[in-house]
Amino acid sequence: MDALLTMNIRRAFRDDVESLAGIEKEYPDYPAWGVKGLEAEFGNKHSVTLAAEEEKNIKGFINFWILPPGIQLNAIIVSRNSLRNKIASGLMNKMLEYAKKNFCREIDLEVNIKNEAAISFYNKMGFKKAGQRAKFYNGKDDAVLMKLEITSL
């Protein structure tokens, strides 16, 4: 069956943290929060973590901070065996619903310049490059700052 039809997107709970951290571990080259960092997000009143699950298995998640008039997108990550099934697109679209409900007009993020998959994905979702920070990651790789302006509020 089409993955989109079976995917459920819901708020993540503290009990999900091990599963979320497990997905992070699939990408050792990218910054990760780990169990402690993910748990800390549940104590941040601005923070929302959403999980995408198929048949009760979490396949990806997104974390963002609602800081009207904007949203800061901190993480979006999909399990390697579920890539290119529009899971990240579904998570992003759900975040956009939160943006609209909270009168947020722009989404900001930063991404490693070498992360071509993520940059392609963000471009596909309508993000534009808004700047660059030299040697932001580990004192080596530049960060690309990207922004999505929401016009349909």
Cα 146 to Cα 106: distance, rounded to the nearest angstrom: 10
| Alpha carbons 30 and 110: distance in angstroms, whole number | 12
User: Closest approach of Cβ 117 to ligand COA, in Å?
Assistant: 3
Q: Please report how close the Cβ of residue 25 comes to ligand COA at its closest, in angstroms.
A: 12
C-alpha pair distances (Å), 41 with each of 35, 102, 106, 124: 10, 19, 21, 28
Out of 10, 117, 129, 149, point to the residue binding ligand COA (CB under 6 A). 117
Distance CA 114, CA 137 (A): 10
> Which residue, chain included where needed, has tokens 């009168």?
103
Residue 58, number of CB atoms within 10 A of its CB? 19
Write down the least CB distance from residue 80 to ligand COA, Å. 8
From candidates 32, 66, 77, 96, binder to ligand COA by CB under 6 A: 77
Is 76 among the residues that bind ligand COA (CB under 6 A)?
yes
Site size for ligand COA (CB under 6 A):
20
Binding residues for ligand COA, per CB under 6 A?
Answer: 27, 30, 75-78, 83-89, 111, 115, 117-118, 120-121, 124
